[in-house]
Amino acid sequence: MTIARAHFPKGFVFGAATAAYQIEGSSFGGAGPCHWDTFAKGPGNVVRAEDGAIACDHYHQWPADLDLLQTAGMDAYRFSTSWARVMPDGVKINPQGIDFYDRLVDGMLERGLKPFQTLYHWEMPSALADQGGWTNRDTCHRFADFAEAITRVLGNRVETIATINEPWCVAWLSHFWGIHAPGLRDIRATARAMHHILLAHGLATERLRGMGQKNLGIVLNFNHFAAASDAPADLAAADVMDGIFNRWFIEGMTRGTYPQAVLAGLGPHMPANWQDDMPTIGARQDWLGVNYYTRGTVAHAPGLWPNAKDMPTTLPTTQMGWEIYPEGLHHFLTRMARDYVGDMPIYVTENGMANADVVEDNAVSDQIREDYLFAHLAATKRAIDDGANVKGFFYWSLLDNYEWSLGYEKRFGLVHVDFETLKRTPKSSYHALRRAIARND
């Protein structure tokens, strides 16, 4: 199917997303150290021990990067404001950091781009990480203070605010699997992080609502899980993974409880009286962000809870080794509307693929990304036709950038970045999306 703006409802927002640590260059502008700086220095944590010190140098090159969004005809830009840049020690404000985001937001508005802000895309200030980070309940209150401080400056100009990006990554990937900072493999830390990240979301939402701020939401990531067979043990493995990844956060927020299949493992390790926090966690939301990339197949694994293991895929995969499965996006958009949020606006806040792109004759041909992108836009359109109130779609990412523990090797961008020279080269997918956005009939 050919994709055009005209196929989507009037006012549908097309944009691209990035995150502070992945593009800005954390060594510039008085930003404080965050737990990614130290995690990257641990042996074997990050490919080639790369960090975000320079990244794409967006801190200096942001005007040209915003021009790229404008030239593509985008309506909006999803960006994040680094906690460690705004509050280097987690508490005191860095005026240079505030000024940077002030200019960045003005730059978006001058170019007709709606600012979609994310408050936490993983830059935990080291001073707070030292005190236990998300395992420490006090961090949730410090986060609400940060939310208030940055919103006092930007709140009158941003279109939407998301509290947290991908709580599953913040909690499970980082405290149970140990793949992201702080790199723990500790079920008790995991249970606390799984709960505290939502408490931080709830406290920040209440604080911002109290200031009269509108358009508050959260960005959750979803992964489709298929069972390897119809055997009850494999079905149970798929169910528990679905519970951990796809139900824990949305059910905490909308139903005031967590899935039983997950409490079966985490229950004994939860903070005392966690139930008392559920009303705060259920703070009213204005919209939901859905990040979706892939599907996995799981089977029963004997031994430790959650008794699930990944199985090999039979579908084509991306540079990340992730299955390409656009139906999963339709599944989650319609499932969120049907089971959890009803008519509340939903945005696809991230979707995209990594590919080993190369520049030849000053151009990049990435037909595979064009196909991926248009298949997922088509899945979004089908979800809208099936009743989901989807209001926009943000491609991840505008630029090739720091892909966390995989360093600079995995390229997700619509725009290629040469990490030696920092030269930007729009890929063929950038031009294809630009043409699709421009087609309004």
Interface ranges with ligand IFM (CB under 6 A)? 19, 22, 166, 291, 350, 396, 403, 412
Give yes or no for a contact between 113 and 79, defined as CB atoms under 8 angstroms apart.
no
Among residues 8 and 396, whose Cβ is nearest to ligand IFM? 396
Report in angstroms how near the CB of residue 181 gets to ligand IFM at its nearest.
Answer: 12
Shortest Cβ distance from residue 402 to ligand IFM (Å)? 8
DSSP state of 172: I
- Beta-carbon count within 10 A of 138 CB: 11
- Quote the least distance from Cβ 121 to ligand IFM, whole Å: 6
Amino acid type, 236: A
Catalytic residue of the set 159, 323, 350, 370:
350
What would the DSSP string read from start to end of 292-352? EEEEEEEEE-SSSTT-EEEE---S-B-TT--B--THHHHHHHHHHIIIIITTS-EEEEE--
Looking at this protein, which amino acid is placed at residue 51? D
Judge whether 166 counts as a catalytic residue: yes
Active site residue 370: no
Residues shown for the chain: 441
Of 159, 166, 323, 403, the active-site residue reads 166
- Give Cα separations from 149 to 133, 153, 248, 288, 302 (angstroms): 19, 7, 29, 23, 48
Taking the complex as a whole, how short is the minimal distance between the CB of residue 282 and ligand IFM, in angstroms? 25
State which residue, 24 or 166, has the beta carbon closest to ligand IFM: 166
Nearer to ligand IFM, 45 or 291 (CB): 291
Q: Which residues contact 176 (CB under 8 A, 6 or more apart)?
A: 184, 185, 186, 187, 190
**Nearer Cβ to ligand IFM (183/265):** 183
Q: Which is nearer to ligand IFM, 274 or 292 (CB)?
A: 292
Nearest alpha carbon to residue 376 among 393, 388, 389: 393
CB of 16 to ligand IFM, least distance (A): 12
Give residue 303's identity as a one-letter amino acid code: G
Q: Kindly list the catalytic residues.
A: 166, 350
